[in-house]
Amino acid sequence: MLGGLGHVSHIDIKTSDDLLNTIWKWARPPGRQRALDCGAGIGRVTRLLLSRRFHTVDAVEQCPKFVEAARETLRDNEHVGQLICAGLQEFSPEENSYDVIWCQWVLGHLTDEDLVQFFVGCRRGLRADGVIVVKENVATGDQSEYDAADSSVTRPRALLETIFADAQLRVVATRRQHGMPRGLYAVLMFVLRPDEP
Ligand SMILES: C[S@@+](CC[C@H](N)C(=O)[O-])C[C@H]1O[C@@H](n2cnc3c(N)ncnc32)[C@H](O)[C@@H]1O
């Protein structure tokens, strides 16, 4: 699931957990009721992070085999709600439903246009004070880099920020994931809130 980099999962989860703790100290923190894990794979982030921090976690994943694997792994986890088999390009969360929408290592599978539409849906899916967290590899140049092995793109930061803005989302915090093996892409975390007029 992490392309042979399973050993980075621990540091990844720890950094994500620290970010949630920081967010919950803000003046207008999101609630802890319901989270959505987007591109959940076999449920790693749901199992190790979100289900430990939220009352209910729903997950959406495109690959039916991964959804089945997640269903099996998470079957005794009382904090897991719906496991939805769908591509993010055709998925829109229920309006006003989620305190946190978590998107990790998946957005490179969507075209720029689909990603803007997906984020518009996520913006509407947030509850009051809710946030979207994006955790993705980021290219250093000014162009997206295509990976033929899994048909994904790695976007530069400026393009991600343009896409967020196009979806009327504002970046309210950014963190870099440290402790990743050298020679890989930088991994950035963005916390997004609806842009208020
Ligand atoms: C690298 S894995 C990351 C899984 C998980 N987010 C994690 O960090 O452990 C990418 C996941 O995104 C899923 N995926 C790819 N394209 C997708 C799409 N269009 N919609 C939803 N999920 C997708 C893949 O099936 C895979 O499970």
The atom number, within ligand 1, closest to the CA of 66 reads 27
Segment 39-58 mean pLDDT:
98
Q: What is the whole-number distance in angstroms between the Cα of residue 37 and the centre of ligand 1? A: 10
Dist CA 178 CA 60 (whole Å): 27
Q: What is the whole-number distance in angstroms between the Cα of residue 164 and the centre of ligand 1? A: 19
The atom number, within ligand 1, closest to the CA of 104 reads 6
Dist CA 61 CA 70 (whole Å): 10
**Which distant-in-sequence residues (6+ apart) come within 8 Å of 37 by Cβ?**
43, 45, 46, 50, 57, 58, 59, 60, 102, 104
Average pLDDT along the chain: 96
pLDDT single digits (tens) 85-130: 999 999 999 999 999 999 999 999 999 999 999 999 999 999 999 9
Q: What is the CATH number of domain 27-194?
A: 3.40.50.150
Domain ranges of the chain: 27-194
Is pLDDT of 1 > 60? Answer: no
Q: What is the whole-number distance in angstroms between the Cα of residue 105 and the centre of ligand 1? A: 7
> Residue 176: its pLDDT value, please?
97
The atom number, within ligand 1, closest to the CA of 2 reads 1
pLDDT single digits (tens) 131-141: 999 999 999 99
Output the ligand 1 site: residues, CB below 6 A.
1, 39-41, 44-45, 61-63, 66, 87-89, 104-106, 109-110
